Amino acid sequence: MFGNDPFSGIEDLFNQLSGGSRRYASKRDQAQSLLNTIEGRRETLLIFDLSGERIASVKIADDVETDEYGDRVATGQKVLSVTLQSGKSLAYGLSKLLAKRKLEHTFSNGILEVKLRK
C-alpha cells in the first residue's frame, strides 16, 4: 500500500473518511497537501498544507469531466475546489453529506483550514 512513497495511502484514507473520490490535476501535490480530516459533532475540519502558495478561492463545486466529444459534463459528484493564485487547482471529492454543509475557511502561514458546518 505505501511502497516507496510515504504519501501514496493518503488518497485511500481520505476516501474512507469522506465517502468520496478525488480527481486530480496533480495527484502527488494533492495527496501531500491534505494533512488531516477531523470529524466533530457540529463540523468537519479539513486541514491542508499549502506552504508557498496563495489561495484565490475555496468553494464547493460540481465535479466535471470532459466526455469523448470534448464537452464538459457534470458527474453528479461534489468537490471541494481550491484554486491557487499560481493557477493550480486542487479538487477533493466530498460525500453528499459534506457537500451540503456551510463552508468556512482560514488560511494562515501556509495552512488552509476548511470547516464544513452542519
90-117: pLDDT as tens digits: 888 887 777 777 899 999 999 999 998 8
> Is residue 60 assigned to a domain?
yes
Domain that includes residue 62, residue range: 10-117
> Is residue 5 assigned to a domain?
no
Kindly report the CATH number assigned to the domain that includes residue 99: 2.60.40.790
The amino acid occupying position 43 is E
Work out how many domains the chain is built from and give that number.
1
> Is residue 1 assigned to a domain?
no
> Is residue 92 assigned to a domain?
yes
> Is residue 48 assigned to a domain?
yes
Where does 67-111 have alpha helices with state H? 96-99
Cα separation of 70 and 91, whole Å? 20
> Is residue 39 assigned to a domain?
yes
pLDDT confidence of residue 23? 39
The amino acid occupying position 74 is A
The amino acid occupying position 23 is R
C-alpha cell at 89: 487547482
The amino acid occupying position 112 is L
With beta carbons less than 8 A apart as the criterion, state whether 29 and 10 touch.
no
> Is residue 3 assigned to a domain?
no
Distance from the Cα of residue 109 to its chain's centroid: 19
- Measured in residues, the chain has a length of 118
* Full-model pTM: 0.64
The amino acid occupying position 116 is L
Backbone angles phi, psi at 96, to 5 degrees: -60, -35
Q: What is the mean pLDDT of each run of 10 residues along the chain (118 residues)?
A: 54 55 48 82 90 90 76 77 87 79 90 89
The sign of the torsion formed by the CA atoms of 67, 103, 17, 19 equals negative
